[in-house]
Chains A and B, each alone.
Chain A
Amino acid sequence: MDAVAENKQDHSGKSQFIVIRLDNEQYGIDVRFVENIVRMQRITRVPKMPKYLVGIINLRGEVLPVMSLRIKMGLEKDVYEKKTRIIVLKTQTEGNLGVIVDEVREVVTLEDAQVDKIDDLKLEGKTFVSGVGKRENGDLISLLDLGVITLEENA
């Protein structure tokens, strides 16, 4: 996890992604949008919120809203386990936002050539993925579109 802080981006055709697991799928989150990764902690529910906004936590004395990626993406509700983590994302307009993931695996560096933009893939319906990264070992990583994820829905 320290790798996140160490590697600052020098945009030279490469991007770094944090590989996370949700259910059985792997997703990548651009490290430039990640502020911090914290362990799961007690979440205080806030009434009248959209379902995917599960509540708020105390992040070193500041109040941070937390979102369930699973619910947002239409998966089953989170089961909090030992490996569950909250990734603190920097959003440009609204302050930080925590997202719950099942597991944080590693950090990968992908060349631009290794990334297929979603437009080229012709997927149908609503998508939270902006592209797919192909690793040398043949793994595919869905790269999350953070703009869509942090977007407010009128629920």
Chain B
Amino acid sequence: MDVSQYLDMFLDETKEHLQNLSDQIMRLEENPEDADTINEIFRAAHTLKGMAGTMGFTRMQTLTHDMENVFSEVRSGKLKVQSQIIDVFFNCLDALDDYVQNIQNTSDEGTDDHEDLIKRLNDCLPKEGQAVMPGTPYKKEQPAQPSVPEVKQEESQETNKWDEIELDEAIWAAIDEARADGDECYGLNIVIQEKCLLKAARAFLVLRTVGEKGEIIASSPSTQDIEDEKFDRDFTLIVISNLSLEEMIKAASNISEIEKVTGGVFLRPGERSASKASKPEAEPIKEEQSSKEQPAKGQEQPAKEEALQRSIPSAEAMEGTATTQAPSEADAKEKKSVSTGKHLGNKTIRVDIEKLDELMNLVSELIIAKNSIVAATQSGQMAAKSIVKDNIEYLERVTTNLHEAVMKARMVPIETVTNKFPRMIRDIAKKLDKKMELYISGEDTELDRTVVDELGDPLMHLLRNCADHGLETEEVRMKRGKNPVGSIFLNASQVGNSVVIEVRDDGNGIDVDAIRRKAVERGTITQEQSETMSEKELIDLLFLPSFSTAKQVTDVSGRGVGLDVVKSKIESLSGEVEVKSKLGEGSSWTIRLPMTLAIIQTLMVGVGGEKYAIPLGSIQSIETVHFGEIKTVQNKQVINLRGVVLPLVRLYEVLEVEGNRIQEEEMTVVVVKKGDRYAGLMIDELIGQLEIVIKPLGKYSKQCKFISGATILGDGEVALILDANALI
């Protein structure tokens, strides 16, 4: 049976079921005895199995079948839910996720049987269950499928590949610290068998296994690229571990379809060349080449070149890791790599039928309006003009509504990204051995689909940051008289025309002095600068590329790549990030995003003969203010508006409008708000409300931060859009 036409539907539904399973298993972990939850899990697993079977994905079916067996035992009460079973379940979900990813990318589930998982599942079963349940029923299906055509590669070249990985000083410092603690740092090179069809899955297993034994601090290609199968046949890891090299190599080579694992102690470039020279017999030909290309000191360039020659994918990755200092570039590359290669099917969106009906209604209204205009032009001259005019007004209303309806149809609840977070926090909590709880609210807040898709990464970074840097360990929390279980909050809400997402924790807060010290130490700012900088300015330093205050580099966060990516990503969505923090009480990160991107409602105002558009979303009110009401506080002009004191911004001064001005008795002031702050913008005249299409200003927009773009008015003239947020 040809089922390919159902593939999209299968993927959609499988993802839903997997998400559901993940949610339910989380719930089960909290309430191990809840019969409803167990039943729900059982049903979801059963449906998954059935769907996978129908589509002919036998490996996926096998795994879900075995999961179902365990669930069945749990349901019948023969098996008690323990945390280790939950862990196995989550690992199974990850494995199923891998299958789904593979299916999405290649329409094939791949060749990974996840025997280890199946074995662990079976180990969970009570002894007598063993007889009922044969170990791996579909095992004979191990494929003898044709191997992927491979570029031929010389074996000996892998030797000491880890020496080509470049690390920045911060990571070196971490390595030195680890060595001081008695740990050791190794370079591992893993070669996967040529006939292996699903290298990424194997590599993933290796990453996980090695990750359990130690800390992976660097890799070539990047771990992301490894998981996306962007490597040839081998990849290289730098690991800190307290185990011996042999144990590490053994752990990695225990995974099936791994051809070879080589390893060695990872040394600084200087130490490295010395130790190399002492045993020149190791690799006669290759060594000559590489020592030619890698003189002890300026080895950065040659290493990169060599990587380029060797294979394109790893060269890309090298560049990716090498340019962490230039985040926008790296980020762009990352974006590019995400957009290419993935998604076999089209990007779809599920639209509420009501929204479609609304669209249909509006379109029919458009047709009616058009017909009226046609009729009017055909009828007598006298009445025609007024009928056309009426209908133009009508058309205007319809197009506005139509625009709104289409935008609404593109909106998806933010839930689609937030629902994976509880699980992530749970994993981090286990890894870091901290107790924490994630509270999500407002997940039904809707945003444009494109924005929601891009939002996952930045939010994940922020949450990890909270979990790792923000929250203290249990003992510290107890000592400070806090609840030993840390709390992380994720709140989303709609405010005017924008959506505000707040990530907050009740942890330690940001240590401004630590930032100051670190910034001076790293030479980001001078000592004098550090003394005059405000707290807010110092906190903003966190958003600089490769700036991290974490003393220890962990694989959760701390490598200093993250917050800068968060910032650039949010800014690319025309949003902004704000941080508030109180030492000892926690910190809060606020992301503000426009709900829609291209078309907005604005108020057109005149300032000295020039026209400017102010987005309606940021306008609070329009007031008439008498000259006498302007007061001066701390050298700043303010007005007292019904008990609220707001700073007055003279737009013609800020915008450097030329010409002399006459001080008038009464002025029009547009009150704008940003979060809980307000400001009054003094303007000359109100022109009216207008719906405008935003055009980017390109490079020139960066020079003037309170102009967010331009628009073309009906008469062809260009008007600038004021970014009220930047004026406050």
Contacts and interface: CB of A to CB of B under 8 A. Distances in A.
Nearest to A56: B718
Nearest to B655: A47
B712 A61 contact: yes
Q: Which of A44, A47, A58, A95 has the most CB of B within 10 A?
A: A47
Nearest to B713: A58
Interface string B683-725: 0000000000001111110011001001010001111100000
Contact of B717 (A44, A48, A95): A44
Contacts, number: 54
A49 B700 contact: yes
B644 interface: no
Interface in A43-77: 44-50, 53, 55-58, 61-63, 65
Contacts of B703: 48-50
A42 B696 CA distance: 19
Contacts of A63: 695-698, 710, 712, 718
A53 B655 CA distance: 15
A44 B710 contact: yes
A46 B700 contact: yes
B724 to A, nearest CB: 15
> Which size class do B's interface residues fall under?
20 to 34
Contacts of B712: 58, 61, 63
Given A46-B700, A63-B695, A58 B707 contact: no
A124 interface: no
A95 B704 contact: no
A63 to B, nearest CB: 5
Contacts of A61: 712
A10 interface: no
B141 interface: no
B144 interface: no
A56 B704 contact: no
Contact of B704 (A46, A58, A94, A152): A46
A56 B710 CA distance: 9
Q: Which of B696, B700, B716, B720 has the most CB of A within 10 A?
A: B700
Nearest to B722: A47
Give the interface SS of chain B, mostly helix, strand, loop or mixed: mixed
A42 B656 contact: no
A50 B720 CA distance: 17
Nearest to A43: B718
> Which size class do A's interface residues fall under?
20 to 34
B718 A57 contact: yes
Given A44-B610, A56-B718, A61-B712, A94 B699 contact: yes
B654 interface: yes
B699 A48 contact: no
A45 B719 CA distance: 9
A57 B719 CA distance: 9
Interface string A31-45: 000000000001011
A8 B655 CA distance: 43
A49 B710 CA distance: 15
Contacts of B697: 46, 56, 63, 65
Contacts of A55: 718
Given A62-B695, A63-B696, A63-B710, A47 B704 contact: yes
B702 to A, nearest CB: 11
B698 A58 contact: no
B102 to A, nearest CB: 40
Given A61-B712, A63-B695, A44 B718 contact: yes
A85 B700 CA distance: 22
A58 B700 CA distance: 15
Contact of A95 (B698, B707, B719): B698
Contact of A94 (B656, B695, B698, B718): B698
B720 A58 contact: no
B462 to A, nearest CB: 32
B307 to A, nearest CB: 27
B723 to A, nearest CB: 12
Q: Which of A49, A50, A55, A56 has the most CB of B within 10 A?
A: A56
A47 B610 CA distance: 11
A31 to B, nearest CB: 24
A42 B700 contact: no
Nearest to B710: A63
B695 A49 contact: no
B295 to A, nearest CB: 34
A58 B720 CA distance: 12
A87 B716 CA distance: 19
Contact of B719 (A44, A48, A49, A152): A44
A61 to B, nearest CB: 6
Contacts of A47: 654-657, 704, 707
Interface of B: 610, 654-657, 695-700, 703-704, 707, 710, 712, 716-720
Given A44-B717, A44-B719, A46-B697, 14 more contacts: A44-B710, A47-B704, A47-B707, A48-B703, A57-B718, A58-B716, A58-B717, A58-B718, A62-B695, A63-B696, A63-B698, A63-B710, A65-B698, A95-B698
25 contacts: A44-B710, A44-B719, A45-B610, A46-B697, A46-B700, A46-B704, A46-B707, A47-B654, A47-B655, A47-B656, A47-B657, A47-B704, A47-B707, A48-B703, A48-B704, A49-B700, A49-B703, A50-B703, A58-B718, A62-B695, A63-B696, A63-B697, A63-B698, A94-B698, A95-B698
